[in-house]
Structure 1
Amino acid sequence: MVYTSLNHIQGKKGSRWAQFLRDIGTENLLVVAIDAAKFTHKAMVCNFYGDILVKPFEFDASMTGFDAIKRIIEIEKEKHGKEKVIVGIETTGHYYEDLVRRCHTVGYHVRIINAATTAQERQALLNWAKTDNLDLMAIVQSILHGRGTSSELSSGKVYTLQKLTRARRELVNEQTMTQNLIRMHMDHIFREYQGKSIWIKGKREHIKPFSDLFGKASLFMMRNYPHPSDILALGEAGLRKLSIRENLKLRDDCIKTLVEFAKESISQSKDHVEVELFLLTQKLDRLDLLKEQIKVLEEKIEDLFVETEGAMILSVPGIGVVTGAELFAEMGEISDFTHAGQLIKMAGTNPIVKQSGGRKPTYYGISKQGRRPFRNIVYQVGKSLSTNNPEMKEKYLALKDRGKLTGQAYIAIGNRMIRLAFSMIRNQTLYQTRQENYVLLKELSKKLRTKNVKKFYEKHVSLSSGLSA
């Protein structure tokens, strides 16, 4: 009998695990549970029926520690006549990764257990406590119930791309925090610099000197002339000369607004905000560094992404290099998935359905049971497509007409993109559209540097289909 993903209640993963047990026989299996940590791991050895053969013991997180646990495993394996060793390891930070690699090299069958799974197993033990011994019992229980995955650790270009995109996301978050601190310092130095409310014809309007607080002109002024007294010392004539000399392109209304706001500023004198001025300079330096680091990372991401099979999704209008790279990196290797719904579940953007008896199903919010970074990029993809892709924008508006909230519509469009990306990557097909003005070369030229446009055509576009596009 052939066991397919439809034969088991846990799908392909469950079918593979069940077949593994049938082939080896549960009586021939030795189960090792490992609770990974930074310096000292803890382990326990059992048979497949849960009988403890070696009580919980510690070993250090180094090669000497691994050799020690390997000796114990081999002794118990020979003592009890076991053929195969199953090692269950909880995904604790990144500390488990070296153990997984070493276990694979010596031929152990590794089951990687999600921390959320062990938490549920601890609850099943009806014990509110959390200790290393309870964690080991929860890992064993997870293995006995067929939880976890036998997949090896991510590697190759997809894994590298995931590390790069997540590193960029951290830098972007840090950049946002730095910008918020700059806003705070400017509130103390020149409160009105970010704008103020003015009554015009009985209505209150928010007037800002700069449309972009972190644009070239605004950053120059914050670094060199941040205080109202600096603006008043220059005056309108001095600001115009400065604008010409530094190519700031300050408009007349911007200059007049700056001078007017400086005259009426409620901020303290320059002597009283000396510390704020010092901290502002530091934060501006930090912002410049972050921008440069993000730029370098984005170039590296682009160079790598265009070489992967996931680069096909760059042919979709509304999907930029960074967004597309993040989506593909979080999807990972799709060869282990049979349909896009599995990826949607992995992201945790699948809707919760409740149904009982003959009643109609009720759809609640999304499950949020998957990876948070994956879920975040699905939302961002949906948001981008809803604005920049004409066909997806139609579907977005249709969802809004049906009463969907904005966030719900973004998630729905993001899920649709997962299905589209899954199909495009698996079949290695470019985006198909009814748009008359769509030209692949034009679309790619907006997103990629010239050398990478050429590389995309060489790697992903055939002479018969691509050059005519």
Structure 2
Amino acid sequence: MVMQSLKHIQGKNGSYWNRLMRNPEADRYCIVAVDAAKYVNAAMICTIYGDILKGPFEFDGSRTGFQVLQTAIKETREAYQLTDVILGIETTAHYYEDLVRVCMAQGYLVRILNAATTAKERETVLNYTKTDRVDLMAIIQSILHGRGATGLKKHQEFETLQTLTRAKRRLVNDRSRCINHLRLYSDHIFKEFQGKNERIDGKNQVVKIFDQFDSKSSLYLMRHHPHPEDLLSLGPVGLRKLSIQHNLKLREATIERLLSYARTSISKPKKDLYSELLLLRLKLDEYELLNRQVEELNEEIEALLLQTDGGILLSIPGVGVTIAAELTAEMGNLENFTSAGQLIKMAGTNPIVKQSGGKQASHYRISKQGRAPFRDIVYQLGKSTAQKNPEMNVHYQRLKDRGKMTGQAYIAIGNRMLRIAYAMRKKQILYQSQQPDYILQKVIAGKLRNKKKQALFYHRFVLSEPV
């Protein structure tokens, strides 16, 4: 009787390795460990029994270096009559990516290992020394124990989308830091420009001049008239004239408050603020540059999203272009997955389950063992839909009533939405809302301002036949 093999503890990747090792010719596999670095890589070749066939050798990260690796593998295979090549490589920054690509193109089976895996492997043998040889031995042992994931060919559009969305996230973070610096220099030059405390109905209340610190009118005045002396020299007539000339839309109440706060300000004289004024101007230049770069990326990301199957996610209330693009990019090609649960685990938002001895299973915090950028997107997805999607808001309120913290509820909603997104992309079906006021045309018009892009969405996801 043939017994069904146990499901491997490492899941799909481990089961794949388990089947691979049951091959009758497994003892003729050529195991190659590669320790990737920026300039000089190290490698070692052995058998599945751990017998070293070629000791550690170095090769550079160029085409000539790869040829050195190829030659070493070819000579070893011929000398020992080995067949398939299984190459394990550690995820060291981004240096391993090109090696993975060229090795896969060469036909090698590539196993990608997390650096934490090899670190734990060193600990198990009580060896805390870190040298190239020890690292390579740890990679070998990790491969032989079935660790790591098999390298998969990436689809260019998803890889490009991921690169652009991650770059945009960094630019947005840089822009936020830039705004914080603008606030700092503005405080030194004209503190009351960001607001002033006033007693209203017996209570302290901060009354601001502008609702948005980075509004058009606020940025213009910071660049051209940042100091109270500048505003007082203009007066109400000069400020009204500026508002008309540059379309600043300054209301009378705003002009009055600006001048009132300028008159009562205790800021240093303008002549004593040379360095602060210079740094403010430079930061304003940086902010404008970052804004232009973010806007350019927005255009590219929006167009690229509609070329992928992830554009269908725009039909979900609460999921805008940014979240849809980032989610699609991190999910990648769905041919690599058989269930949404695998995506949740890849994001590291799966709860840790502990159960033993017949006791009831306990759920703890999320594992955080997946990709940090993906995990951030799942959180943002949960937060956005919990606030803006009526159906998800109902689930959010239930979670809060059960005593869940806000962050926990957002992660739970994010996982739920990830399952929905997986099904929508896999089956190419639009979001099925039960809300009577849900109108797809209105939802898409609020996210895609360009009429051509709206037409592209309808042509691809509404008028075409489902896959």
Structure-2 separation of matches of 1:451 and 1:2: 59
CA contact (8 A) 1:4 1:15 kept: no
Match of 1:392 in 2: 392
Match of 2:254 in 1: 254
Match of 1:67 in 2: 67
The letter of the residue matching 1:77 is: R
The letter of the residue matching 1:62 is: S
2:131 is the alignment partner of 1:148: no
**1:102-181 correspondence to structure 2 within 5 Å:** 102-181=102-181
The letter of the residue matching 2:84 is: K
Q: Secondary structure at the match of 1:23?
A: coil
- Structure 1 residues 201 and 254 mapped into 2: Cα distance closer, same or farther (>3 Å)? same
Q: Secondary structure at the match of 2:22?
A: helix
Q: Secondary structure at the match of 2:441?
A: helix
CA deviations over 1:363-392 (Å, ceiling 9, x no partner): 222111110100111111111111111111
2:417 is the alignment partner of 1:450: no
For these two proteins, the number of residue pairs brought into alignment is 465
CA deviations over 1:100-152 (Å, ceiling 9, x no partner): 22222332221111222212212222223322222111111110011112222
2:192 is the alignment partner of 1:192: yes
The letter of the residue matching 2:455 is: K
Q: Secondary structure at the match of 1:94?
A: coil
Structure-2 separation of matches of 1:153 and 1:260: 64
Q: Secondary structure at the match of 1:45?
A: strand
Match of 1:428 in 2: 428
CA contact (8 A) 1:6 1:12 kept: no
**1:22-421 correspondence to structure 2 within 5 Å:** 22-23=22-23, 25-421=25-421
CA deviations over 1:162-181 (Å, ceiling 9, x no partner): 11101111110111111111
The letter of the residue matching 2:368 is: K
Q: Equivalent pairs: percent with the same residue?
A: 54
The letter of the residue matching 2:22 is: R
Structure-2 separation of matches of 1:85 and 1:369: 28
CA deviations over 1:392-416 (Å, ceiling 9, x no partner): 1111111111111111111111111
CA contact (8 A) 2:347 2:371 kept: yes
Q: Secondary structure at the match of 2:57?
A: strand
The letter of the residue matching 2:418 is: I
Structure 1 residue 362, shift from structure 2 partner = 2.6
- Structure 1 residues 2 and 88 mapped into 2: Cα distance closer, same or farther (>3 Å)? farther
Bigger Cα displacement from structure 2, 373-382 vs 330-339: 330-339
Structure-2 separation of matches of 1:451 and 1:327: 23
Structure-2 separation of matches of 1:356 and 1:369: 22
Computed over aligned residues only, the root mean square deviation of the Cα atoms, in angstroms, reads: 2.0
The letter of the residue matching 1:200 is: I
- Structure 1 residues 200 and 115 mapped into 2: Cα distance closer, same or farther (>3 Å)? same
Q: Normalising by the residue count of structure 1, what TM-score does the alignment of the two structures yield?
A: 0.95
Structure-1 separation of matches of 2:197 and 2:298: 38
CA deviations over 1:75-100 (Å, ceiling 9, x no partner): 21122121111111111122112222
CA contact (8 A) 1:31 1:87 kept: yes
CA contact (8 A) 1:186 1:193 kept: yes
Gaps of 5+ in 2: none
Structure-2 separation of matches of 1:2 and 1:214: 69
- Structure 1 residues 266 and 24 mapped into 2: Cα distance closer, same or farther (>3 Å)? farther
Bigger Cα displacement from structure 2, 241-250 vs 56-65: 241-250
Bigger Cα displacement from structure 2, 161-170 vs 231-240: 231-240
Structure-2 separation of matches of 1:104 and 1:3: 34
Q: Secondary structure at the match of 1:317?
A: coil
- Structure 1 residues 263 and 461 mapped into 2: Cα distance closer, same or farther (>3 Å)? same
CA deviations over 1:24-70 (Å, ceiling 9, x no partner): 53311111101011111011111111122222121111122221222
CA contact (8 A) 2:109 2:151 kept: no
